[in-house]
Structure 1
Amino acid sequence: MPHSASTRRPTTLAIWLIIAGVVGWWAAFSLTMEKFHLLENPGSKAACDFSVLVQCGENLNSPQGSVFGFPNPIIGLGAWIAPIVVGVALLAGAKFANWFWWLFELGMLFAIGFVIWLIGQSIFVIHTLCPWCMVTWSVVIPTFYAVTLYILRSGLLPATTSIRRAARALTPWIVLMTILSYALIALLAQLELGVFF
């Protein structure tokens, strides 16, 4: 039986999903347009190429920029619609079946896993920081925390009472968890790339 929290409308989560979805979609759209520009103008620079260290071009033209055979931003153009739709539906009072939340969480697990891999590739292999990519990272991380903790504390995923209790206790700390995640990325970038010097 789902925890009673699942019967209450998660307004804060819904609003965040809409905001994150819009920001993430815009980042994906901007990167897609930059990719079109680079394809149409070989040898040119992307508008987000600010320096050797901070740029989009290297990332977009690298093998990591087209992992599945097409530019990664196209994934974002499709995937970021889901949080927007879910957020709007939640605000409208929609209630989703458990299996829907399981699929949504699988999507979030893919997103965070893919982002972690891309962060590692960007810092340690390509040696650049892509501005629009970082925007994407900045919304995927807190969205993953928010969705995962909501699902766990609400009993929408099979979890013990202690896990649900821990998820409820961690929920107020999502902002801090996000900041610490950003700090870790910044530390790795500094150690590998010397970002601040």
Structure 2
Amino acid sequence: MNSPEIARRPVGFGTFLMVAGVVGWIAAFALTVEKFALLQSPNAALSCDVSVLVQCSANLDSPQGSVFGFPNPILGLAGWVAPIVVGAALLAGGRFDRWFWLLFQLGVTAAFVFVVWLISQSIFVLGTLCPWCMVTWAVTIPLFWVVTLRNVADRMLPAPAGIRRLAGVLSGWVVLITVGCYLLITILAQLRLDVLGSL
């Protein structure tokens, strides 16, 4: 029988952080491998190059693929370790001070903003959909909502009582919120790139 201490651990939250981190890290690793392949043979057909529309090459070779002077996937290799470690620590019974959650929130928010920018660049500028990039999008979006709503509801982020209550309610609707974000991206991609017409 579980002790009260174990029962109080945020098992669902910790597990989600670990799963999201692992999936994101795998996507970053795959993109890094593909980038190495391009560096060795610039004209190589990558395993994620499905068509002119669905491919990694254009994204990896673009200025948007190396925003800070090095390939973006390196950010992922480093950054996705954080939710894995935090999730594991929570499952092990670890607790963190408010300053830690504020820093974690800052990192998650920065990742979310960067991903939103990359989505806009991919759809409206590059005109391609990178499979492994989309995996990154798919986990960053719910990660942002889960962490943000939890931090607001738990008073880690300053907010009026009404906003905290709303965050607590919305925490139960994260799946729907995430699906709504996916649907918005899908609609934008279809309107701009005619994904269905290219099949």
Q: TM-score scaled by structure 1?
A: 0.95
Are 2:51 and 1:47 aligned? no
User: How far 1:70 moved relative to its partner?
Assistant: 0.1
Letter in 1 for 2:47: A
Equivalent position of 2:5 in the other structure: none
Letter in 1 for 2:89: A
Equivalent position of 1:175 in the other structure: 175
Equivalent position of 1:96 in the other structure: 96
Equivalent position of 1:81 in the other structure: 81
Equivalent position of 1:20 in the other structure: 20
Equivalent position of 2:4 in the other structure: none
- Aligned counterparts of 2:157 and 2:181: Cα–Cα separation in 1: 25
- Aligned counterparts of 1:97 and 1:155: Cα–Cα separation in 2: 12
Q: Unpaired runs of 5+ in structure 1?
A: 1-7
User: How far 1:45 moved relative to its partner?
Assistant: 1.6
Q: TM-score scaled by structure 2?
A: 0.94
CA RMSD of aligned residues (A): 0.7
User: How far 1:9 moved relative to its partner?
Assistant: 2.6
User: How far 1:39 moved relative to its partner?
Assistant: 0.2
Equivalent position of 1:141 in the other structure: 141
Aligned-partner SS, 1:196? helix
Letter in 1 for 2:132: W
- Aligned counterparts of 2:29 and 2:195: Cα–Cα separation in 1: 26
Point out the more displaced range, 157-166 or 175-184: 157-166
- Aligned counterparts of 1:158 and 1:38: Cα–Cα separation in 2: 46
CA distances 1:110-164 after superposition (whole Å, capped 9, x unpaired)? 0110000000000000000000000000000000000001101011122221111
Equivalent position of 2:106 in the other structure: 106
Aligned-partner SS, 2:196? coil
Equivalent position of 1:63 in the other structure: 63
- Aligned counterparts of 1:10 and 1:49: Cα–Cα separation in 2: 40
Equivalent position of 1:3 in the other structure: none
Aligned-partner SS, 1:138? helix
Point out the more displaced range, 158-167 or 135-144: 158-167
Equivalent position of 2:192 in the other structure: 192
- Aligned counterparts of 2:73 and 2:97: Cα–Cα separation in 1: 30
CA distances 1:21-65 after superposition (whole Å, capped 9, x unpaired)? 000000000000000000001211211000000000000000000
Aligned-partner SS, 1:44? coil
Aligned-partner SS, 2:20? helix
How many positions carry a matched residue from both structures?
Answer: 190
Point out the more displaced range, 23-32 or 41-50: 41-50
- Aligned counterparts of 1:161 and 1:9: Cα–Cα separation in 2: 24
Moved over 6 A (4+): none
- Aligned counterparts of 2:56 and 2:185: Cα–Cα separation in 1: 18
Letter in 2 for 1:141: I
Q: Unpaired runs of 5+ in structure 2?
A: 1-7
- Aligned counterparts of 2:148 and 2:42: Cα–Cα separation in 1: 42
